[in-house]
Amino acid sequence: MKKQLYIILGVILFCMIVTIVSQDRQIKNLTDERDKYKSNTEVLLADCEQFQVRDSLNAARVGSLELTIKEFEKFRAQDAALIKELTGKNRDLQQLNKAQLNTIEQLRCVPHDTLLLVDSVYITATSVHCGDEWYTFDGLLTEDSFTGTMTSHDEIVLTETVRYKKFLFWKTGKIKDRQLDAVSLNPHSTITGMEHIIIDK
* Domain ranges (residues) in the chain: 1-45, 112-151
Phi-psi region of 188 (alpha: psi -120 to 50; beta: other; left: phi over 0): alpha
Pairing verdict, β 95-103 and 112-118: unpaired
pTM of this prediction exceeds 0.75: no
So what's the pLDDT on residue 143? 84
So what's the pLDDT on residue 1? 67
Sign of torsion, CA 58 63 69 73? negative
C-alpha–C-alpha distance, residues 198 and 69, integer Å: 10
Query: Which pLDDT tens digits describe the chain residue by residue (201 residues)?
Result: 677 777 888 888 888 898 898 888 898 888 888 888 888 888 888 888 888 888 788 899 998 888 888 888 888 888 888 888 877 676 777 888 888 898 888 888 888 888 777 777 788 888 999 988 889 999 988 888 889 999 988 889 989 888 888 877 777 777 778 889 999 999 889 999 898 888 886
186 burial level (CB within 10 Å; 0-12, 13-18, 19+): buried
So what's the pLDDT on residue 199? 85
Strand intervals (E) in the chain: 49-53, 57-63, 65-67, 95-103, 112-118, 121-131, 135-141, 146-152, 156-167, 170-184, 189-199
CA neighbor of 64 nearest in space, from 175, 162, 196: 196
Instruction: List, in sequence order, every residue forming a beta bridge with 131; answer none if it has no partner.
Output: 136
Whether the Cβ atoms of residue 65 and residue 195 lie closer than 8 Å to each other: yes
So what's the pLDDT on residue 138? 92
